[in-house]
A and B are shown apart, each in its own frame.
Chain A
Amino acid sequence: MLKKKENKKELIMQAALELFASKGFYTTTIPDIAASLKMSVGNMYNYFKSKDILAKEIIKYISSYLGNKLREINEQEISTKEKTRKIVEIYFKTASLKPEMIDYFLRIYLSNREVFKDSCEGMICVNEFVTEIMIYFEEGVKCGDLREQDFFSAFGLFMGYLGGMVFLKGENILPKDLNDYIDDIAFNIYKALSAE
C-alpha cells in the first residue's frame, strides 16, 4: 500500500516537472497537474498538501535520482579521471533524456529560492547529490589525483560548468549535441582539478 502511494507520488512529481518545464513554475497550478493525470484536485492534496511542498519534494527526488547515479560511479574501482568522465556523461545524459529534471534544478530551484527557504535551507534538499560529489572529491584528493583545495572552489568549477552547458543547450545556442562535448569537458574539468 505504501509502495503504491510512493509510486503515485512519483508519477505526480514527474507530471508536475513536465508542466513546470513547459508552462513555468508560477503559472502551473495544482488543478493543472491534477488534470494532466486525470485526478481530482481533492485527491491530489492527499499526496501533496501544497505546491510549495510538491516543489521541495521534487528537488529531493531529483537530488536522490542523480545522487544514486553518482554513487554507482563512486563505488566503481576506476581512476578519478574515469570517474570525472562518467559524471559528466551521466549529467548530460540526464539533461538529454530527462531535460525537465536539470531544467527544474537550474531554472526553478536555483532561481526561486523563496519557495525553498523553509526546510530546504542550505543544501539540505540536494544533500544526496552533493554528498556524492564530496565523496568523489575526497577520494580523488586522498589517492593523489586531485589537488587539495576549498570544496566550493572545486564544486563551483565542476557544477557551474555543467550547469552552464545545459543552460546553453536549453537556450538552443549550442551548435552540437551535448554528448559531443563530453570528451572535451571531462578533459578540461580533470585538468583543472588535477594535482599535476
Chain B
Amino acid sequence: MKKTKVLWLSAIACNGNTHSFLNYPFMEQFLEDFEFIYHPVIDSKYSLEDIVSKEITCDILLIEGAISKEFKRADVSVVKIIEKYSKIVQKIVTVGTCATFGGIFRESGYENTSGLHFDQDKQLKEFQYLRDKTISVSGCPVHPEVLVNTLYAIKKSITLKLDNFLRPKEFYAYTVHNGCTRNEYFEYKVDNHRFGELEGCMFYDHGCQAPFTHGSCNKILWNEVNSKTRAGLSCMGCTEPTFPKRNLFSTKKNMAIPENLPVGVGKRVYLTLAGITKAFKIDRLEKKLIDD
C-alpha cells in the first residue's frame, strides 16, 4: 500500500505533541503506512529548507503550535508555509490546543498569536477557506491514539463527524468525566481528596474540569494505563478553547455553587440533585478504599 505523505510543521510550540506522539505504542506499523516528508525530530527525506524552498508532494499537513505571521521557520513565515501546503494536501490537522485555539503560546510575544481557525473560542476569518479541509485534535498534548486514529481515518477516507471546533466527535463528544474511576464520589458529592490518592472526587474543591471538558482521557488511557483523574490529579481542561485557566487546583465557586457545572446540566437541576445527595452520608466513600 502506498504510504501517506505527511508534513509535520512546528509553529510556536514546545514539541509536547511530538513527545506525546513518540509514545504511540505501534509506531513501527504506523511508519509502514505513513511517511513524514518532514518531522522536527523523526528522520525524514527532506530538510526544512527543502520544504520551504520547494513544493514537496504531500497528503496531510499537520500543524503543531500556535500561529503568528511573525513567526518564521527556515526564514519563512509559518503562515506562508501553511498557505503553500494547504493547497496541495487533502487534509489539514491542527495537532494540540495551541494549533487549534492558541493555547499556552497564545500568550507569547508574537503579534496576533492564535490557532489556525480559532482564537480561543472566537472563529477567525483568516484561513476560513480551509475550514472544510481541517480537523482539529486539541489537547495539551493530544493523545497519540487520537492523532493516529484520525490520520488513519483520513487515509481510509472515512468521514469523521466534527464538532463546532472541528474536533472528531468520536473522541471529543464525550467529557473527560466519562469513564473516570471516581464517579461514585462525584455522584454522592464527596471530595475529601488529597492529591495522588485514590479516594474522592476533585470536582467540588480541587478544580477538576473533567465534567465540562471534552475528551477521551478516561476512555483511551494514557500510556495505555492511566489518566490524570485516575492518578489523583484534577483535569485541567486542556482540550478546550479556554485552556490554560488560572488556579487549576481549586474550584471557583460562588457561595458554594461551582461556577462551571457539568456540560448541559442546568443550575436548578444541579442544585436539586446536590441537595438530595448532600443529605446522605455514605460511609464507604468517607473511608480509605484500601486500608490494611
Residues of A that sit less than 8 Å from B by CB? 121-124, 127-128, 130-131, 134-135, 137-142, 146, 148-151, 154
Contacts and interface: CB of A to CB of B under 8 A. Distances in A.
B255 A122 contact: no
B254 A137 contact: yes
Given A127-B272, A131-B272, A138-B267, 10 more contacts: A121-B280, A122-B279, A123-B279, A124-B276, A127-B275, A131-B268, A134-B257, A134-B271, A137-B257, A141-B254
13 contacts: A121-B279, A122-B278, A122-B280, A130-B271, A130-B275, A134-B255, A134-B256, A134-B257, A137-B255, A138-B255, A141-B254, A141-B255, A142-B254
Contacts of B259: 142
Interface of B: 253-257, 259, 267-268, 271-272, 275-276, 278-280
Contacts of B255: 134, 137-138, 140-141, 146, 148-151, 154
A150 B256 contact: yes
Nearest to A124: B279
B220 to A, nearest CB: 35
A113 B219 CA distance: 45
A122 B275 contact: yes
The main secondary structure of chain A at its interface with chain B is: helix
Contacts of B275: 122-124, 127, 130-131
Contacts of A121: 279-280
Q: Which of B254, B268, B279 has the largest count of A CB atoms less than 10 A from its CB?
A: B254
A159 to B, nearest CB: 14
Contacts of A131: 268, 271-272, 275
Contacts of B268: 131, 135
A138 B276 contact: no
A146 B279 CA distance: 26
A142 B268 CA distance: 16
Contacts of A142: 254, 259
Nearest first, the 10 closest Cβ-Cβ pairs linking A and B are: A122-B279, A151-B256, A141-B254, A137-B255, A121-B279, A131-B271, A138-B257, A127-B275, A138-B254, A142-B254
A122 B275 CA distance: 8
A148 B278 CA distance: 21
Contacts of A137: 254-257
Contacts of A123: 275, 278-279
Q: Which of A134, A149, A150, A154 has the largest count of B CB atoms less than 10 A from its CB?
A: A134
